Amino acid sequence: MPSVFDTNITYLKGVGPRKAELLAKEFNIRTYGDLLYHFPFRYIDKSRIYKISEVNSDKTYFLLKGKVSNMKAVGDKRTRYVSFLLTDDTGSMELLWFRGLQWIKKRFDPQKEYLIFGKPSVFKNRFNMVHPEVEEATPENTMVTGNRLEGVYHTTEKLKTAGLGSRGFSRIIQTLLKETVSSIQENLPPYLQEKYQMIGHAEALVNIHFPKNTTLLEKAVQRLKFEELFFLQMELLLQKKIQKEKTAGHVFKNVGEIFNTFYHQHLPFTLTGAQKRVIREIRNDMKSGKQMNRLLQGDVGSGKTLVALMSMLIAIDNGYQTAFMAPTEILATQHYNTLKKLLGKMNIPVGLLTGSTKAKQRKEIHQALQNHELPILVGTHALIEDTVKFSNLGFVVIDEQHRFGVAQRAKLWKKNTIPPHVLVMTATPIPRTLAMTLYGNLDVSIIDEMPPGRKPVKTLHFFESKRLRVIGFMREQIKKGRQIYVVYPLIKESENLDLKNLIDGYENIVREFPEPEYHVSVVHGKMKAEDKEFEMQRFKKGETHIMVSTTVIEVGVDVPNASVMVIENAERFGLSQLHQLRGRVGRGADQSWCILMSGNKLSNEGRKRLETMVRTNDGFEIAEADLKLRGPGDIQGTRQSGMLDFHIANLAKDGVLIARTRKIAAAILTEDPQLQKPENFLLNREMKKRFKGKTIWARIS
């Protein structure tokens, strides 16, 4: 049955074709339902008229009443602004206009009283108001009505011109509510409403637009947030379940000889508890008969590679091939070397396939894959080219997820008739609550324990003025045999400027650390791949003391002897990037340092970022802080997911509610997986509506 909320917006009184077109274009509002969910983003309180003497900086907006006189037009040839004096029986305040000057000059009758509503600002120790709302005072609008909370709506210049400013929105929504309020169906069963003390769906929708009082507004917000998050979690959990039931996976029955030999004879250290737990989780997925889609989160240095390798060995034990995909050539090569080293004398062939693999080798690899002679293939995107054919691909590890596009990953699925199990590893921790939404339909494993004996990196922040001290410190460290990274920001928009910064910086460093005593490498994005590689290798082998670079070294590069990370213009980096960079040091036995250099002038946010870095080494805590500082829209890779288009919930602020609604949804689905019980009828109906016409996208690819 089509609901009244699917009705095209053109049917609404007061919305003609022109407005409808603009609403669709500007806000994607096409139906009654869309408009109903265009909520105010804040409210202004007109419940009380204040005296001018009461104006203070505690409240943002004030409603005042008085006479408006003493016009002044300021400017030489052209009027730049117009000011008036608002006067009541307690004092006066200046009102200012910078636009619409001709009109405002004639706006006021000095004999009449006006209601003035706006945001006071302080100028020369006095309050004034710029561009306040103005209304002639009448007996009706000056009557103290108890509560006048007025919603303020997002709008655009185009919509304003068409009569849909904030007030305009308010008007058409009022019309809409009058027409439809009786058809708004409840969607949460009474037992949930009672348990969590929520008002009804319709009441919430009315009060979010036209709050009767602050209490009801709060209740409306609470109810609508709950709804939004709860149904999202329901959806994610159901998708996960359906996906599991639908997609068959290779069954890896045994943990066999190869795994056991490695575990007992070649493992260079004891696994951490977290590593063991995660391997168990993966193991269980692999024998379940369902395809695994698992996200492995673990801070830099937490030992994800080893977990990946041991999981690969299980696949190999069961006669399958495995692939290990990294985002860059440098990283692929490094993983290749790491795996070979870890496997040591075990005689398990490992192949490396990247963009620069020579044609002859490439051919050999293709042959070996098809003859089932190559159980492990490490590489870059080159791995998913169509020409690469496996005889029996069973398991794929993808390192550093955010660098791969969805379409690229989808290609993996075509490499075998039954899709391989997929393990995605990411070292950019995301807050648990965000993971619950973004990856709510995936299985998530977390390594939350560092290998023993690591010395936490010490982080310090220095202003530019302390550079000499920092240089002295660098010399000291080099004398002790350590190596140092110096990293410059690279931001796309100003690439040339950044490159200049880097080159200037390099020249300064060479001046401070001259040959022949010191050797300095430099690596940046404009260099040829082989030159980059050459410089990286020199540094890795310990032939150079300092590596000056852009963020190309951000991910994964492993030089245990490098124990100092100097980050230039640190205030220009995002938190997660700073954390990634810091993860490049602290890999050896020595005390490591991360030095954040910044200019003296810091934005509030920039300062908070640096403070957070100095305060903690915990990637998850940093991710939380990042989410709070920047909001979820900027977290890497989340924007395109479309998962964050909430009407009212806020991922950064509603973490507790996200966790709670997930728990509630999971509990309900455990009790009643098909939502068949009578008490869950309303949920069943709502979920059907939500799934209608949706493709299931629960797989990672």
**Strands, E, within 3-140: which ranges?**
42-45, 62-74, 81-88, 91-97, 113-118, 120-123, 126-130, 133-136
- How near is the Cβ of 350 to ligand ADP at its closest, in Å? 16
* Binding partner of 303, given ligand ADP, Mg ion, none, CB within 5-8 angstroms per partner class: ligand ADP
Name the DSSP letter for residue 266: I
Nearer to Mg ion, 264 or 341 (CB): 341
| Residue whose CB is less far from ligand ADP, 241 or 276 | 276
Q: What is the DSSP letter of 452?
A: T
Among 306, 312, 378, 523, binds ligand ADP (CB under 6 A): 306
Backbone angles phi, psi at 331, to 5 degrees: -70, -40
- Min dist CB 267 to ligand ADP, Å, is 9
Stretch that binds ligand ADP, among 21-29, 120-128, 195-203, 297-305 (CB under 6 A): 297-305
The residue among 101 and 342 lying less far from ligand ADP, judged by its C-beta, is: 342
Nearer of residues 303 and 375 to ligand ADP, judged by Cβ: 303
Q: Residue 135 is which amino acid?
A: E
Residue of 233, 239, 293, 305 interacting with ligand ADP (CB under 6 A): 305
Taking the C-alpha atoms of residue 83 and residue 101, their distance in angstroms, rounded to an integer, is 10
* Cα 381-385-390 angle, rounded to 5 deg: 105
- The site partner of 612 among ligand ADP, Mg ion, none (C-beta below 5 to 8 Å per kind) is none
Bridge pairing between strands 126-130 and 91-97: parallel
Q: Can you read off the two tokens belonging to residue 497?
A: 């400027």
Omega before residue 516 within 30° of 0, cis: yes
Q: Beta strand pairing status for 443-447 and 120-123?
A: unpaired
Residue number, 298 or 440, with CB nearest to Mg ion: 298
* 455 is a site residue for ligand ADP (CB under 6 A): no
Stretch that binds ligand ADP, among 163-171, 301-309, 436-444, 617-625 (CB under 6 A): 301-309
In whole angstroms, give the CA distance from residue 632 to residue 434: 8
The answer to whether 451 contacts ligand ADP (rule: CB under 6 A) is: yes
Q: Which long-range contacts (CB under 8 A, 24 or more apart) does 262-265 make?
A: 262/309, 262/310, 262/313, 262/343, 262/346, 263/310
562: tokens are 């490098």
Residue 375 touching ligand ADP (CB under 6 A):
no
Kindly report the number of other CB atoms within 10 A of residue 211's CB atom: 22
Q: Which is nearer to ligand ADP, 113 or 449 (CB)?
A: 449
Shortest gap between Cβ of 248 and Mg ion (angstroms)? 31
Select the residue interacting with ligand ADP from 180, 207, 302, 426 (CB under 6 A): 302
Binder of residue 272, out of Mg ion, ligand ADP, none (CB less than 5 to 8 A by kind): ligand ADP
Number of neighbours of residue 586 by Cβ within 10 angstroms:
24
- What residue type is 597 in one-letter code? M
528-557 binders of Mg ion (CB under 5 A):
556
Site string for ligand ADP, 404-433 (x = CB under 6 A): -----------------------x------
Q: What is the end-to-end Cα distance of the chain in Å, rounded?
A: 34
| Candidate residues 166, 180, 272, 297; the one interacting with ligand ADP per rule CB under 6 A | 272
If contact means CB under 5 to 8 A according to the sort of partner, which of Mg ion, ligand ADP, none does residue 155 touch? none
| Position 269 contacts ligand ADP (CB under 6 A) | yes
Q: Cα-flanking dihedrals φ and ψ of residue 6, to 5°?
A: -85, -5
CA dihedral of 124, 127, 128, 133, whole degrees rounded to 10:
160
Query: At its nearest, how many Å lie between ligand ADP and the CB of residue 306?
Result: 5
Which bin fits 163, alpha (ψ -120 to 50), beta or left (φ > 0)? left
Q: Which residue of the chain is nearest Mg ion when measured via CB? A: 556
Alpha-carbon distances of 616 from 243, 619, 621, 624, rounded to whole Å:
38, 8, 7, 12
Check residue 333 for interaction with ligand ADP (CB under 6 A): no
Judged by CB under 6 A, the residue of 275, 426, 477, 501 near ligand ADP is 275
Kind and range of the H or E run holding 686? helix 681-691
| Residue number with CB closer to ligand ADP (322 or 416) | 322
Tell which one of 132, 298, 429, 505 touches ligand ADP (CB under 6 A). Answer: 298
Of 40 and 379, which CB lies nearer to Mg ion in the complex structure?
A: 379
Give the nearer residue to ligand ADP in terms of CB position, either 35 or 306.
306
Binding footprint of ligand ADP on the chain (CB under 6 A): 269, 271-272, 275, 298, 300-306, 427, 451
Binding footprint of Mg ion on the chain (CB under 5 A): 556
